Amino acid sequence: MICTRCKKETHNGTHMEEGLVCYRCVNREKYDEGREDFFLCGICGEADSPDNWLGNVLEEDLCFSCSFWVRHIYEYRNGKKVVIDGNMYSVGVEVRERFAFKGFGGRQFEIQMKDSGKSFITSNLWHNGQVPDRFREKLPDNAVFITDNEVISVSTNR
């Protein structure tokens, strides 16, 4: 869907008189009105409010999206995340229960780390999202998929 105000593609928003308006535009409007609970993110400059994300703690002066990625940088540096073709993944614990809830429905993936060349197989891979351009330098690809099966692709929207 396309926001009627900024004309950018959006996955979510709210319906207003002029049509679908993305939350980015709604937040900016509230910030411009002088609402005290809204601030501009110190990284991306987007307007946000902690009240938008009840139950989630935002890093100081960062919007939800930037807070999300900053936290992932820490996990990435500690070897708990893999980035393949600009997409970040978490490798979950291998669970052998018959009806366990697994990432990608339990599909098996073989992943090779770029730095060590070591590979591993997981059936519990979780897609965290496409790394935004503003974080690509801190979250470069560190692994590749190894597969003889169909091409692995993840739907992403930029």
- The single-letter DSSP state of residue 82 is E
Q: What is the spatial distance between Cα 74 and Cα 68, in angstroms, rounded to a whole number?
A: 11
Percent of the chain with pLDDT over 90: 63
Cβ(14)–Cβ(7) below 8 Å: no
83: number of Cβ within 10 Å: 21
Summarize pLDDT for 107-123 with one digit per residue, the tens. 999 999 999 999 999 99
Summarize pLDDT for 128-146 with one digit per residue, the tens. 999 999 999 999 999 999 9
Q: Does the predicted model carry a pTM greater than 0.85?
A: no
Query: What is the arithmetic mean of pLDDT over 51-80?
Result: 87
